[in-house]
């Protein structure tokens, strides 16, 4: 392993902590939410700006850089036929309401940096870049090349790394610093269908409904407008008087139209039970205020928001990656239909054919023209504990921290699933803000600690990669 090399890496990183902090804050100030495509900026101007900054930093550090048409970029050090890569992303999810700190202010408060992307994934990505920089300065005879990849479309499609894999070199080994410690050696499959149903019509007719920011975020707000039939107004008013959910508000617009607003709590789609879906609240409210003739239609919509997938016929588990979860992240209306945009995290052992068969069976039972309009499936991943990638990460983490935690599995999807021989590793610790929630934050000391662990780990994994046939 070479303890003297690790000590040198750690010392160099401690001497450059102030630079790491300021470069991280500079990156966090860029509101790199996916925007309108432009030439050489397929994910919008802000994502392009973040990529430009990452490449400028890397060039300033003396690394070889490459920009792949704005989809993705990378910085590389070392020489040799084998290559170890670390996979980070610079795009972030939208911020939503309720922040106490400026979402792109990169404010320091109480030893934490507050910003969207602090924990997912800009903070870890810049810590990773500094680990690569430390390798360049301290280990001139690396046994393999080390490449820091900067993606720009992780949160909404993986088009960035799909483009990379079409036009550039596949790493020998890779990690994605975008998960929990010590590593996640399994990730669930991800199924992203759009399910549509006719707008309920009758005594309470649904005119429109909209809400949510991304499919991988539990929606924290949702709005709808309904028209109440003349003969049902008194009954509906009586039910409104008994409405109990304080997170759902309504106003009459004229004599027969109601505007409804529901509020919830955002969370990552992989753990929807940690959030509170505004859409579920809204459909439950509509079910409760509706007369009998239209209640079944609203009950079906409510059922389809079940976060264990029961409404889709997908409730289930496996021994490797655990229970399925389902999140309706976006709802909208088009052509007389309500559309539910899902992020389903399925057990790793489930195939695309298994999922489609279950959903088809369930929707046939529901009837009423409820259908799958589109869908995309990404298989999960799983590496055994004796795989050299897993065992090396575990050994380094335990040596660095003394923490004997075992590798985990998760419902989140990282770049690791797009590359062969790749797993996700930690990007923070307890107390750091959870991904996709308000007031996301990263403890500054954890930023520094990550950089030291990454440097040690990358040195070891470059050695492992160099020795693979």
Question: Would you please indicate which residues are annotated as catalytic (active-site) residues?
Answer: 91, 154
Q: Could you tell me the two tokens for 469?
A: 């046939």
Q: Could you tell me the two tokens for 97?
A: 């309401």
Q: Is 220 helix (H, G, I), strand (E, B) or coil?
A: coil
Taken in order 163, 165, 166, 169, is the CA torsion positive or negative? positive
Nearest to 160 by CA among 51, 28, 39: 51
Q: Are strands 189-191 and 248-253 parallel, antiparallel or unpaired?
A: unpaired
**At 154, phi and psi to the nearest 5?**
-70, -40
Q: Could you tell me the two tokens for 412?
A: 């989140």
- Spatial separation of the C-alpha atoms in residues 244 and 18, rounded to whole Å: 52
403 within 8 A of 181, measured Cβ to Cβ: yes
Taken in order 340, 341, 345, 351, is the CA torsion positive or negative? positive
- Spatial separation of the C-alpha atoms in residues 83 and 364, rounded to whole Å: 49
Which residues share a beta bridge with 197?
Answer: 338
- Spatial separation of the C-alpha atoms in residues 285 and 230, rounded to whole Å: 20
291 within 8 A of 204, measured Cβ to Cβ: yes
- Spatial separation of the C-alpha atoms in residues 209 and 277, rounded to whole Å: 14
Residue 21: exposure state from Cβ atoms within 10 A (0-12, 13-18, ≥19): middle
Q: Are strands 189-191 and 408-410 parallel, antiparallel or unpaired?
A: unpaired
CA distances from 179 to 186, 411, 416 (A): 11, 10, 10
- Spatial separation of the C-alpha atoms in residues 424 and 184, rounded to whole Å: 6
Phi-psi region of 61 (alpha: psi -120 to 50; beta: other; left: phi over 0): alpha
> Which long-range contacts (C-beta less than 8 Å, at least 24 apart) are formed by 42-45?
42/69, 42/70, 42/71, 42/152, 42/153, 42/159, 43/70, 43/71, 43/91, 43/152, 43/153, 43/159, 43/160
């Amino acid at each position: 392993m070479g303890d003297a090399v690790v000590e040198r890496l750690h010392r160099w990183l401690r001497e450059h902590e102030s630079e790491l902090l300021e470069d991280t804050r500079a990156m966090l100030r860029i509101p790199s939410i996916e925007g309108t495509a432009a030439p050489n900026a397929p994910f919008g101007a802000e994502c392009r700006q973040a990529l430009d900054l990452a490449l400028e930093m890397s060039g300033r550090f003396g690394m070889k850089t490459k920009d792949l048409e704005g989809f993705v970029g990378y910085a590389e050090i070392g020489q040799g036929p084998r290559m170890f890569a670390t996979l980070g992303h610079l795009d972030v999810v939208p911020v939503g309401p309720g922040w106490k700190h400026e979402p792109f202010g990169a404010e320091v408060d109480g030893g934490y940096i507050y910003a969207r992307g602090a924990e997912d994934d800009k903070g870890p990505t810049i810590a990773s870049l500094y680990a690569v920089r430390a390798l360049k300065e301290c280990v001139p005879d690396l046994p393999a090349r080390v490449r820091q990849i900067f993606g720009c479309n992780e949160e909404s499609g993986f088009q960035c790394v799909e483009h990379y894999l079409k036009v550039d070199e596949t790493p020998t080994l890779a990690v994605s610093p975008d998960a929990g410690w010590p590593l996640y050696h399994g990730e669930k499959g991800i199924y992203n269908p759009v399910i549509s149903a006719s707008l309920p019509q009758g005594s309470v007719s649904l005119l429109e409904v909209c809400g949510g920011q991304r499919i991988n975020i539990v929606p924290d707000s949702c709005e709808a407008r309904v028209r109440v039939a003349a003969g049902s107004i008194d009954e509906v008013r009586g039910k409104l008087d008994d409405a109990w959910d304080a997170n759902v508000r309504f106003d009459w617009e004229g004599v027969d139209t109601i505007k409804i607003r529901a509020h919830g709590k955002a969370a990552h789609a992989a753990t929807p039970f940690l959030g509170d879906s505004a859409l579920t609240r809204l459909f439950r409210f509509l079910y409760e205020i509706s007369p009998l003739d239209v209640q079944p239609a609203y009950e079906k919509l409510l059922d389809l928001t079940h976060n264990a997938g029961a409404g889709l016929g997908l409730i289930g588990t496996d021994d490797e990656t655990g229970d399925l979860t389902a999140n309706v992240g976006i709802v909208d209306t088009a052509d007389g239909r309500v559309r539910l945009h899902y992020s389903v995290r399925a057990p790793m052992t489930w195939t695309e054919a298994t999922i489609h068969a279950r959903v088809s069976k369930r929707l046939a039972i529901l009837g009423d023209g409820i259908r799958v309009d589109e869908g995309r499936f990404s298989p999960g991943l799983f590496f055994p504990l004796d795989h050299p990638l897993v065992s090396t990460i575990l050994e380094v983490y335990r040596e660095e921290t003394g923490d004997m935690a075992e590798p985990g599995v998760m419902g989140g999807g990282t770049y690791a699933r797009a590359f062969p021989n790749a797993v996700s590793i930690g990007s923070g610790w307890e107390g750091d803000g959870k991904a996709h929630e308000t007031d996301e934050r990263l403890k500054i000391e954890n930023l520094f600690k990550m950089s030291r662990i990454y440097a040690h780990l990358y040195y070891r994994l470059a050695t492992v990669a160099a020795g693979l046939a």
